[in-house]
């Protein structure tokens, strides 16, 4: 069914699939698992962000010892937040696509 989906639908489906591959049976990620997922699957976007205070705040919150787990909704908010603070959006604006 996804082969017939739009690029945006495929992008969200891919994010959900990757999340589910890392999540526990209840569909949640520990903070350590979340950090690992971001480092392995989102590192191009995270690269070069290390000196930004908001980035450091987000990553340190994932280092805290806590039993709190992240659900898919929180994970998507985290992805959007990291993307917005990165240079990716500016790079995208510079790319022209054809329809």
Mean pLDDT of the 43-56 span: 75
| pLDDT tens digits, one per residue of 1-41 | 567 889 889 888 999 999 999 999 999 998 888 888 888 88
Q: Which CATH class is domain 2-98?
A: mainly alpha
Mean pLDDT of the chain: 81
pTM of the model: 0.73
Buried b / exposed e over 32-60, threshold 16 CB at 10 Å, is ebbbebbeebbeebbeebeeeeebeebbe
CA distance 49 to 86: 7
**Would you list the domain boundaries of the chain?**
2-98
- pLDDT reported for residue 23: 93
């Amino acid at each position: 069914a996804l082969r017939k989906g739009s690029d945006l639908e495929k992008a969200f489906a891919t994010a959900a699939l990757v999340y589910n591959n890392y999540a526990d049976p209840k569909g949640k990620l520990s903070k350590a698992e979340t950090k690992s997922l971001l480092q392995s699957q989102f590192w191009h976007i995270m690269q070069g962000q290390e000196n930004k205070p908001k980035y450091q705040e987000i990553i340190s919150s994932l280092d805290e010892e806590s039993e709190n787990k992240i659900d898919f909704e929180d994970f998507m908010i985290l992805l959007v937040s990291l993307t917005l603070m990165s240079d990716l959006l500016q790079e995208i604006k510079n790319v022209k696509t054809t329809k």
